[in-house]
Amino acid sequence: MGAIWFWIVAVMIAAYVVLDGFDIGVGILYPLLARTEEDRRVMMRSIGPVWDGNEVWLLAGGGTLYFAFPLLYASAFSGFYLPLMIVLWLLIGRGVSIELRMHMDNAVWRSLFDGIFFLSSALLAIFLGAALANVVRGVPIGADQYFFLPLWTNWQVGPHPGILDWYTVIGGLVAFIALATHGALYLATKATGELEERAAKFSQKAWIALCAITVVSLIATVLVRRSTLDNYNNHPILFAIPVLVVSSLIGIRTFSARREHLKAFLSSCLYLTMMLVGACTGLYPTVLPSSVDAAGDITIAKSLTGTYATHVGLIWWAFGMLLAAGYFAMSYWMFRGKVSTDPDGYGH
């Protein structure tokens, strides 16, 4: 049951990154691709009906983590208190900017919320990437299974690092570039005319940076925590994961060149999923490694909740996921196709 719940949490986090990732990516590109007020409205409408639903996966993932691995939840949410508060405020900033932007027909009002939308989206991508890098690198877990991290120390990786160091900054850059590319590919499927062309061209240019930062991040991960290769070396079939990462990057490039925007976007979804699956595979069965002593690692066995709860919870989780899958299928089906320039509302 421990392995099942580990991968359930991993899948839910991946679902959040893939789905809310294009929302964040559109926010990052907002001041770069929009030339007119019409462009800005189209970019907002491209995510308008789905952005808040996509963020449900973050809440569901956190709730599942709390239910299945209470020790991990308690330790991580106390040790990462500062960045979690920053992420919370960034999520609030994005939501407020999307919902309030059109409440007043005033250029200054719209510009204010445009800036908040871009800044909160960009910083959110960086902090989410840095958060994952912190988990891969490890944190100074004490004998009581708790830890504290300052925002930064000397920017070096060591037994007592900060939230931000050279490795976690690389993680933040990976997320920033990957989600910007993801957002551009999504926007190319939803926009028309010049905005579609600008999004497609941006994704092709960003692809080069994405390939470069992916290679850098993989090398850095091996240098920081060589044990991430143990599962791969013990089970060579798992090297299919990096092969799929490379294949997805090739798919992005190939389909973008052919102007098959939907296939390019789906390739980006595969890239994000496989990068996260690869990280989880390297960590398993550890859920939060210690940067001080491997004996202090929080593992599945240490943090898993009781047997009765995991079995009953799996039934209710499956029921809830069926409802969620039905809702998302209906929502995205109704929102299929290109976004219109109708001045009223978010619709097509």
Q: What is the pLDDT of residues 218-237, one digit of tens each?
A: 999 999 988 999 999 999 99
- CB under 8 Å to 316, separation ≥6 — which residues? none
Q: Is residue 341 part of a domain?
A: no
Q: What is the pLDDT of residue 344?
A: 54
% of the chain residues with pLDDT over 70: 98
Q: Show the domain range for 256.
A: 2-334
Q: Is residue 33 part of a domain?
A: yes
Q: Is residue 201 part of a domain?
A: yes
Q: Is residue 17 part of a domain?
A: yes
In angstroms, the first-to-last Cα distance of the chain is 44
CA distances from 344 to 35, 102, 200, 266 (A): 20, 10, 26, 30
pTM above 0.85, yes or no: yes
CA distance 289 to 279: 13
Q: Is residue 348 part of a domain?
A: no
Q: What is the pLDDT of residue 346?
A: 46
If one counts the domains in the chain, the total is 1
Per-residue pLDDT tens for 249-292? 999 999 999 999 999 999 999 999 999 999 999 999 999 999 88
Q: Is residue 345 part of a domain?
A: no
Q: Is residue 267 part of a domain?
A: yes
Q: Is residue 343 part of a domain?
A: no
Mean pLDDT of 118-130: 95
Torsion of CA 274, 245, 337, 37, to 10 degrees: 100
Secondary structure class of 286 (helix, strand, coil): strand
Per-residue pLDDT tens for 18-50? 999 999 999 999 999 999 999 999 999 999 888
